[in-house]
Every structure is written in structure tokens, then in C-alpha cells.
Chain A
């Protein structure tokens, strides 16, 4: 294989690689483009047009967009924090003071992820209805916390395992309390890993649509539910649908791109390295 041949080969496969990437990304690109069109212009496939923010203005003016966005933020951030609150102590115990039972505990935690949501939809709906959690932000926070807890525990566990135990031990010998040890010694070292875990949990909660559609309507509906409301005849307003979608998707996509490497660890529970 000569050098020249390899270059030509790389060029050829590069073009194929880019063509596929553009094809896959095209619906998203098209949505972004349509968001800057007028409602009349949205039906034409023009690539060159006068961009306008009209649809974005309409989305804010005609719907309580901010309310839905705030619900999304409350629910995803709230469930992520609660997840950490439950997961970090457990992960600390399991990684620094493992017992023979630790591995089966971890596996058991993961196995709770295997329950299909639809299998428990009816009882959760009835429970929530009985205790008044239906269509409430705390209700969805609880569900998403439980849904993501195994991932949070697992990822924190793997990150803690990478922290040198000797440093924590030195702190203990110097008389640091458990809190000091966790907050002043462990936290700074595990922070990069934990923040990417946090971003993954936010992404998962932000985009979750099974529970949000079934458990919320007017008060606690996040953006997934708001966008779903465009499936009615309003769906014909493409520019507004696109503008609302761009606002709902853009921040999460940036987060996803930033955390793509940790994503694999979180989504496969470390089964793929």
C-alpha cells in the first residue's frame, strides 16, 4: 500500500463518512432552518430566505413556554440532585469499603433498570392520583430519581474507584470527620466524573417522555409534553413547532456532545470499555 493510495482512500471514505453524517443530522438541521422562517415560508424548501425571529416571538407570546421550560429545569435538576443525595453515600461505601456482597448489590441495583416503564404505569398512576402527586413537579422528580438512581450509583462508584484511597485514609488518620472526608477530600477529586454523571442524568430526565406524558397535564408539564401538544392540528404551524423544538433541544444537545465519552460508561453500566 503506497502512501498515495492511503490518502486517496482516506479522502474517499471521508466523503462517505461526511455524507452519512449530514444525512443523519439533516432533520435537525432542517428543523433549525425552519425555526427562522415565517409560517408561510416554512412550507417551501428554500435554503435561502430572510431569517426572522417571528416564530420564536410567537412561541413565547402565544404559549406559556417559560412555564414548561421551568418545569423541565426543576424536574431534571431536582431529580439529579436527589439522585446524587441517595447515590453518593452508597457509592462511597461500596467503592472504599467493599464487602463480598458489594458486587451483587451493584448488580441488583442495575437489574431494577430492567423493569419496563409500561409494566408499572397503572399502579404508579393510581398511587399518584391517590396521594395527589399526579401532575406535580415533585411527582416526576420522584419517578426520575428512581429511574436514574442505578446509573448514578454505578457511575459514582466507578469514579470513586479511581480516586486513590490512600489520600482518604491519610485524612482519616489526621482526624477528619466523615463529612470532612467526603466534602473536602473526596469531592474535589471526584468532581469531574460526578459532573459528567450529573449532565447525563439531566439529559435523560430532560428527554424522558413516557412518564411525563402520562403523569402530567397542565401544571407540571415539561417541554416534552408541551411539544407533544403540537401533534394536534397546531402541528401544521411548522415554523412555531420548529422554534419551540430548537429551544427545547439545543441546550441538551450541547451537553450531550460535551459528555459523549462518559455517556458510554453510564448507558452501558461499564459493560463496554
Chain B
């Protein structure tokens, strides 16, 4: 069997253990080395957030200096009554949910596929991760113009060659088109993480299961998937944080339209704050995004704390 001849891959990132501090003399003074980094991050974390919170409770419009004073929860109320608010909230959730679903499902399947040995696997895996290094504005425009264009796009040419009517992706299914582009950008990320993780799966464990007569499906659900569980969690949480602020793809392809059909929370905040210059309401939208991110971050930090303790 070829499998037993294979050496298990070395773990990509070795386990890290901090050094034991030298006992001879106290080196508390070295703490000054932390000051620049900790100070900068502290300001970065506190100042803008405090300002957003403050702005979200006052009346503040850049166009009209006369508008001022404490607003209470009015900004939040106005925001919730804005015709684009519910579409933006729903679109944000749809984008995050479907991109997560696509990238995790296909990421797991690809990782399992690339865990096998085949000709030129390393080169092929470079092609798979390539989209992650393409800047979002390039991805968005190449997909919109050259792939999804209703007349000259590759997909339209393919459909017509099959005798089917071409799809006007951004006219008929704008949100789906945006989701496809974002999923294409993030699938390589999920694949890279899950592929790294699957390589650390013990070859002996797989072999023992194979000898016991487990079929590929049983092996996948009993061994591979439980092993990947943690990495899937990491992918889901990191992607969620980034997907909450997805902006460039929408800005360059649809500008949130047609109507509000592709407006997400990030685009809504941009359009309220930097296009309509209503700082108060835009800030209320920003706070909403922060709250959503915090729910996710809570779990992510807890998981990484366990990881540090595990060392």
C-alpha cells in the first residue's frame, strides 16, 4: 500500500512555548518595550470607538452646522426607519451566511481532495489559493466585466454556446453575483487553513480505520470532520469579521443597487456618513456593526485563550 510508505507531514507551525524568564535579576524595566505597541493599540481601540458611540447619541450633520445637541436614541430610531436599513441588515446576514456556507463546504471538500497524492498537486494548490492575493477591486471588476457581462462575458458566451439564454447577473441577480465574487475571494482562505489542518491528521489513525474496514464516508464523518472542527470554527469567525466590513466589491460593482438590493451595513454606513454626511445616523450604523462583531469576537478570543493554555 502506498499510504503506509508516506510520512505524515510535519506540522506547519510548530507549537510555541514562551521562554522561562531568567531568574537572576528582575527585568521589570523591560516593560517599557511594550509601551509603543500597547499604547498605539490602546488608542486605536478606544478613541475612534468612543467617538462613534458619542456621535451616535448626538445630532451631527456635516451639511448643516445648526443641527446639534443630544439626540438620545433618535439616531438609532431614524436608522431603523430608513428604507435601506432592513435590506442592509438582511443583505449583510445573507452575504455572511452564504459566503461562509460556500467557503466552508467547498473548502472542506477541497482539503480532503488535496490531502490525496496526485500529479502536480503542489502547483495545482497554488492555483487554488491564488484568488486570495488578488486585490478586491480587481476581483470585482474582472468578474463583473469579463466573466458576468450579459453580452460579452464568458458565462454569457458559454450559455449561448449551449443554446441557453444568457443571464444578466448584475441585472437579475445582483446579490447572488456579489456573493459569488466574495466567495471566490474567500474560498482560498478557507482551503488554505483547512488544508493545513488536515495535514496534521495522524496518518496512523486513518490507516487503522481503513484496516478496520471503514468506508470513505465513515472515515470522513468519524475522523476527518471532527479533526477539522476547530479549524472550521476559526475560518467561520475570522471570515465573519472581514465579511461584516465587505465594501470594495459592492462599491466597484453595484454601488449598493439596483435599489437597495446589494446594500450591506458597511455600504449603508459609508453612504449615510460620507455621501449624505449625516454623522449621527451613520455612527449608529457603525455601532450596530461593532455589536455584531463583538458577539463573534467573544467566541474567537475564548477559543484562542484555550489554545494558549493548551501549550
Contact = CB atoms under 8 A, between A and B. Distances in A.
B290 A162 contact: no
Contact of A256 (B12, B133, B252): B133
A73 interface: no
B171 to A, nearest CB: 15
Interface string A169-180: 100000000000
Nearest to B231: A272
Contacts of A257: 126, 129-130, 133
Contacts of A59: none
Given A96-B19, A209-B135, A264-B193, A86 B154 contact: no
A149 B43 CA distance: 13
A27 interface: yes
Interface residues of B, number: 116
Contacts of B279: 122, 126
Contacts of A238: 145-146
Interface string B1-33: 111000000011111111111100001001101
Nearest to B282: A122
B44 A112 contact: yes
Contacts of B287: 119
Contacts of B3: 6
B13 A97 contact: no
Contact of B55 (A123, A264, A271): A123
B274 A125 contact: yes
Contact of A89 (B37, B138, B273, B296): B37
B128 A21 contact: yes
Interface in A81-130: 85-87, 89-90, 92-99, 102-103, 105-127
A264 B36 contact: no
A10 B12 contact: no
Nearest to B46: A112
Contact of A121 (B27, B138, B187, B286): B286
B219 interface: no
B221 interface: no
A189 interface: no
B143 to A, nearest CB: 6
Contact of B152 (A28, A43, A273): A43
A119 B49 contact: yes
Q: Is the interface of A mostly helix, strand, loop or mixed?
A: helix
Q: Is the interface of B mostly helix, strand, loop or mixed?
A: helix
Contacts of A228: 137, 141, 248, 251-252
A28 B130 contact: yes
Nearest to B117: A10
Contacts of A149: 37, 40-41, 44
A48 to B, nearest CB: 16
B18 A25 contact: no
Contacts of B21: 96-99
A122 B52 contact: yes
Nearest to A24: B128
B259 interface: no
B44 A146 contact: yes
Interface string B110-140: 1001101111110011111111111111111
B152 A90 contact: no
Interface of B: 1-3, 11-22, 27, 30-31, 33-34, 36-38, 40-41, 44-45, 47-49, 51-52, 55, 110, 113-114, 116-121, 124-147, 152, 154, 157, 184, 187-189, 192-193, 196-197, 200, 230-231, 234, 238, 241, 244-245, 247-248, 251-253, 265-266, 269-270, 273-274, 279, 282-283, 285-287, 289-290, 292-294, 296-297, 300-301, 303-305, 307-308
Given A28-B131, A93-B33, 15 more contacts: A10-B116, A89-B36, A96-B21, A115-B290, A119-B287, A123-B48, A209-B247, A209-B248, A227-B138, A231-B137, A231-B251, A253-B130, A257-B133, A260-B126, A268-B234
26 contacts: A6-B1, A14-B120, A17-B113, A25-B127, A27-B147, A93-B33, A105-B38, A115-B290, A119-B286, A119-B293, A120-B286, A121-B274, A121-B282, A123-B55, A146-B44, A149-B44, A158-B16, A210-B266, A241-B142, A249-B134, A256-B130, A261-B12, A265-B13, A267-B189, A269-B304, A272-B196
